[in-house]
Amino acid sequence: MAYVDGFLVPVALKNLKAYQAMSRKMGKIWREHGALDYRECRGDDLDIKGVASFRKAAKARKGETVVFAYIVYKSRRHRDQVNKKVMADPRVTHPPGQKHELPFDFKRMCYGGFEVFVQA
């Protein structure tokens, strides 16, 4: 089975284009270093009655949407190898032409690694 890194992050609507541009670059880097898949999904249908809210989980504020994202690997070991390469990549540590300001609040990002145990 596979292994997945997943994250949930609130993004201000005014920063969504900048976030998308950053994500495209990051996705390319992760894939170059061996990730099997990289997806970032903008919240579209988030206010569903009777279930826990992604907005609430991400502590999204007025004027923000939620991005749900995941990166797929062969295994946790593979994830660790890929992430080590990604974190050493100068495009990640010092992105060319980009300030160190991120288009989202890193401290409100939810992140975790998940072992796939059902694949249908």
pTM for the model stands at: 0.88
Task: Give the contacts of 65 (CB within 8 A, at least 6 positions apart).
Answer: 10, 11, 13, 16, 42, 43, 46
Q: What fold is seen in the domain 3-115?
A: Alpha-Beta Plaits (3.30.70)
- The answer on pLDDT for 15 being more than 80 is yes
Mean pLDDT computed over every residue of the chain: 91
In angstroms, rounded to a whole number, what is the distance separating the alpha carbons of residues 8 and 70? 9
Q: What is the pLDDT of residues 64-118, one digit of tens each?
A: 999 999 999 999 999 999 999 999 999 887 655 555 577 887 788 889 999 999 9
Domain map (residue ranges) of the chain: 3-115
